[in-house]
């Protein structure tokens, strides 16, 4: 077998036009020139003035950005493995340069005599960032990069952005929103993590128990999956509303529950709703994971004298763990996003900033709540996905 044949399928498709990367490069070039890159406002109340690429970073910066995108599209005409690595370097370099572009824009456009002036990120910035992440996904598939390497690359970029924001981007509106309510942000972040961690942990335990019961009692399978599917069809706000009255009644009539903090609003209905929505992916993946273990392997373990409990914990469960972790990954990412809605019923979390910002028409406050949720979801998704890949049999062969 040749070295080329031994490569994964996506890495063998060289020499052919990569229309995906060409289209993404053209879209990034068009967005950077046609949309506003930043906006400058004299204070938090007054609407800002939008500026394009050239006024924000000057002609040298505009030409550098254009050349990077043109080079990326040109390398996709007759791609090779070396070209894909060069495009990956361009993507990482562009991501690292983006916060420095904001620093240059702030230096050129903000009047030092206006201490309350603030710089907001424009549409071109967000569109290019989204398209760069799509390019990274395409290059990851073409080069066969593991989730771990992709996570490390994104983590390095995020770390560089954080350093720039702390040290030099004090005029950025998002940074100013954080500085004005940093302790509230930390409390909301902790509450968000606690809600997600509790809901996912409980759903993992319940999911494992339900999956084992469904394997033992086949008649339970249809009823359980039917109920869990029904819970998924209920909108989150409707479920919160349905829980309000019975939980309020229980808190009023059962003193013990009231002492535990059970009420119609707050943490209790949020946790119940999060657990209810988390059960279906958790139970389904756990059931499939346990069911797809090779019967021959279990038969061999039985022939070696292992008891039923030993066969489950020492053979079936380790082999099912990668698929089970995929269920945990799906459940955790779903819970991270859904927890934002729980702020509407007083459960706290990062969703508080989202809804406060919407009420005040302050998009930077919305971003203060939305961006950490997005970053948290990406980190959890990549970390659990990389762990599942590492535990999958034959992954390191």
Give 297-329 pLDDT, tens digit per residue. Answer: 888 888 888 888 888 888 888 888 988 999 899
Measured distance CA(240)–CA(246) in Å, rounded: 11
Residue listed under structure tokens 């409390």? 187
Can you give the pLDDT at residue 8?
Answer: 46
> In terms of pLDDT, which residue wins out, 16 or 234?
234
Residues forming beta bridges with residue 46, ordered by sequence position: none
CA–CA–CA angle 265, 367, 201 (5° rounding): 50
Question: Quick one: which of 334, 225, 223, 325 has its CA closest to 274?
Answer: 334
Q: Does residue 3 surpass a pLDDT of 50? A: no
Task: State the DSSP H helix or E strand holding residue 119, giving kind and residue range, or none if neither.
Answer: strand 118-121
Q: Does residue 4 sit within a domain? A: no
Q: Assess whether 161 and 231 both reside in one domain.
A: no
Give 263-273 pLDDT, tens digit per residue. Answer: 888 888 999 99
Does residue 222 sit in helix, strand or coil? helix
Measured distance CA(181)–CA(322) in Å, rounded: 40
Over the chain, what is the mean pLDDT? Answer: 87
**Domain region containing 56:** 9-180
Q: Assess whether 247 and 375 both reside in one domain.
A: yes
Q: Assess whether 192 and 320 both reside in one domain.
A: yes
> In terms of pLDDT, which residue wins out, 368 or 165?
368
Q: What are phi and psi of 49, to 5 degrees?
A: -100, 130
Give 49-68 pLDDT, tens digit per residue. Answer: 899 999 999 999 999 999 99
| Residue that terminates a domain, selected from 156, 180, 204 | 180
Q: Which CATH number fits the domain that encloses residue 326?
A: 1.10.3720.10
| Residue that terminates a domain, selected from 143, 162, 180 | 180
Q: Assess whether 140 and 268 both reside in one domain.
A: no
| Residue that terminates a domain, selected from 155, 180, 205 | 180
Residues forming beta bridges with residue 172, ordered by sequence position: 119
pLDDT confidence band for 372 (50 / 70 / 90): very high
Number of domains in the chain: 2
């Amino acid at each position: 077998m040749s070295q080329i044949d031994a490569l994964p399928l996506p890495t063998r498709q060289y020499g052919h036009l990569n229309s995906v990367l060409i289209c993404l490069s053209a879209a990034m070039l068009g967005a950077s020139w046609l949309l506003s890159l930043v906006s400058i406002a004299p204070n938090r109340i007054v609407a800002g003035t939008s500026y394009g690429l050239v006024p924000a970073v000057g002609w040298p910066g505009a030409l550098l950005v254009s050349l990077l995108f043109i080079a990326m599209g040109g390398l996709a005409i007759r791609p090779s493995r070396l070209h894909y690595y060069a495009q990956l370097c361009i993507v990482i370099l562009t991501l690292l340069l983006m916060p420095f572009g904001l620093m240059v824009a702030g230096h050129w456009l903000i009047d030092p005599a206006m201490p309350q002036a603030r710089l907001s990120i424009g549409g071109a910035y967000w569109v290019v960032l989204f398209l760069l992440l799509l390019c990274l996904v395409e290059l990851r598939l073409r080069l066969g990069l593991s989730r771990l390497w992709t996570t490390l690359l994104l983590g390095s970029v995020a770390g560089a952005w954080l350093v720039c924001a702390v040290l030099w981007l004090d005029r950025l509106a998002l940074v100013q929103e954080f500085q004005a309510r940093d302790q509230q942000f930390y409390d909301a972040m902790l509450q968000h993590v606690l809600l997600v961690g509790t809901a996912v942990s409980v759903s993992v335990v319940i999911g494992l128990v339900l999956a084992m019961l469904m394997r033992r009692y086949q008649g339970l399978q249809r009823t359980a999956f039917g109920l869990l599917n029904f819970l998924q069809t209920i909108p989150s706000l409707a479920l919160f509303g349905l829980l309000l009255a019975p939980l309020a009644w229980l808190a009023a009539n059962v003193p013990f529950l009231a002492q535990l903090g059970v009420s119609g609003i707050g943490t209790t209905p949020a946790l119940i709703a999060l657990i209810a929505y988390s059960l279906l992916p958790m139970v389904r993946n756990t059931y499939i994971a346990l069911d797809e273990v090779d019967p021959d392997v279990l038969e061999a373990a039985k022939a070696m004298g292992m008891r039923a409990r030993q066969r489950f914990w020492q053979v079936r469960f380790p082999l099912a763990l990668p698929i089970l972790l995929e269920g945990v990954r799906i459940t955790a990412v779903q819970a991270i996003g859904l927890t934002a809605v729980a702020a509407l019923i007083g459960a706290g979390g990062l969703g508080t900033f989202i809804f406060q910002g919407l009420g005040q028409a302050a998009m930077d406050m919305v971003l203060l709540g939305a961006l950490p949720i997005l970053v948290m979801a990406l980190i959890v998704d990549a970390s659990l996905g990389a762990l599942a890949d590492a535990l999958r049999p034959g992954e390191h062969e």
